[in-house]
Chain A
Amino acid sequence: MEKLKLAKSDLIKVNQIKETLMKEYGIAELLSAKNYSTITDCRGNCDGGCTHKCGGFWNPGNH
């Protein structure tokens, strides 16, 4: 995992962005505001043959 591991400087940079956001919006808003959608159809998660959108991650059909 040598290549995909971030350098410390990268982590510091994004952490600074996070801290700025926290000061600006407050932790409660930042954690609660995200509206998680529930799955309403197949697209995006499986490959039941319908490769319409992203096609999903696994390919149970191996097609």
Chain B
Amino acid sequence: MNINDVDPKRKIVMLTLTENCNLNCIYCFEKAKTKKVMSIETAKNILTYEFNNSIGFDEIEIDLFGGEPTLCMNVIKELVEWTYNQNFHKPYIFFLETNGILVHDDIQEWLLKNIECVCAGLSLDGMKETHNKNRSNSYDKIDIDFFVKNYPDQSIRMTINNNTVSTLSKDIIHLHSLGFDKVASTFAHGVDWNIDNLIEILDDELQKLCNFYLANPELKECSIFDMDLTKLVQTDKKPEKWCGTGTHMVSYDINGESYPCHTFQENTTSNPIKLKDFDFGCVKDFGDKKCLNCIFESICPTCYGMNYANNGNMFDRDKSICNIVKITALAVSYLRTKQIETNIVKMESNDLYQTIQAIEIIQNQF
């Protein structure tokens, strides 16, 4: 199966295979790290259930999650090889999210042998110094080239933390220089963003990034620039559900209990919500009443699970990140303007018109 296909309706089934991890990243959301591992029987039962009951979905992505999932490679190997031998009638792909520490020798060999059905994604926070600050001095323990070479369609996962935001442009440029085409650079959630000069730092860093992408138009922009500005123009629309939690996604803890996604599990929140206890499909309004008058609401990302974990209400957005969203929108408006002026981007006429309208709205806010 080609993982670039976007048309089939895909269900995400996350398996928390272990709560154990061999790193201690400073922004990690998992409150409880234990040595517990999901049993192979539990994992098999989950997949049997999901393949037989995921009505309305064309394909299934099985996310091998943790903790660090490579700490239980025996479970992964048995589960993948068992799945090959089942007569499941939906296409599927396994996705292994890893810190890369153990991905050498035997594990690399096994991954290459199973590359058609198992995709591996690496977390790497940028330059060595940045990565090491956040992720337990682990940069030199990762075989970065293995991931660049064998998973060219896979985004590299980079977390921007409050202590590394001042180097974010260099970090993203570094990841591109390593050969990663797609950089999924995301701001850490649940950390304190009330830091000195954040606005000035982001203004400077994001402008450097804009200039980098303008000078290198062949590169795919990192995910910071994924905002669809035209949504700002459609003011009559109600906020949409932002992600697939609870509807297109299910997450299982090590005991086989199901949750809307991993952020509702016990290792993230003190009051976990099980899948059966909340129906995201029935929610009529995903908006936050405090954001009703904010022009950025339609493009402002939200995480229902982290909202719930941090303030007890899924729809109550984290207001400490408002400035980051606004400056990001400003940066996107800046980049799109320069691209439009120089014909770097090709857009349909309606898209172009609405983007320009949005650019004007955003620029007028500052």
A interface vs B, CB < 8 Å?
Answer: 1-6, 10-11, 13-15, 17-18, 21-22, 24-25, 29-34, 36, 38-63
Contacts and interface: CB of A to CB of B under 8 A. Distances in A.
Chain A at the B interface: mostly helix, strand, loop or mixed? Answer: loop
Interface of B: 3, 6, 9-12, 14, 25, 27-29, 61, 63, 65, 95, 97, 119, 121, 123, 154-155, 157, 159, 182, 184-190, 199, 203-204, 206-207, 210, 223-224, 226-227, 230-231, 233-234, 237, 240-245, 248-249, 251, 261-263, 301-303, 305-306, 321, 327-328, 330-331, 333-334, 337-338, 340-341, 348-354, 356-357, 359-360, 363, 366
A60 B306 contact: yes
Nearest to B354: A34
B237 to A, nearest CB: 7
Chain B at the A interface: mostly helix, strand, loop or mixed? Answer: mixed
Contacts of B350: 25, 29-34
Given A4-B331, A39-B243, A42-B243, A50 B157 contact: no
B366 A58 contact: no
A51 B341 contact: no
B341 A13 contact: yes
Nearest to B9: A40
15 contacts: A4-B333, A17-B340, A41-B9, A43-B10, A45-B242, A46-B242, A46-B244, A46-B303, A49-B262, A51-B184, A58-B303, A60-B29, A62-B159, A63-B97, A63-B159
B10 A1 contact: no
A48 B6 contact: no
A34 B353 CA distance: 10
B366 A1 contact: yes
Contact of A45 (B185, B199, B243, B333): B243
Given A48-B243, A51-B97, A36 B237 contact: yes
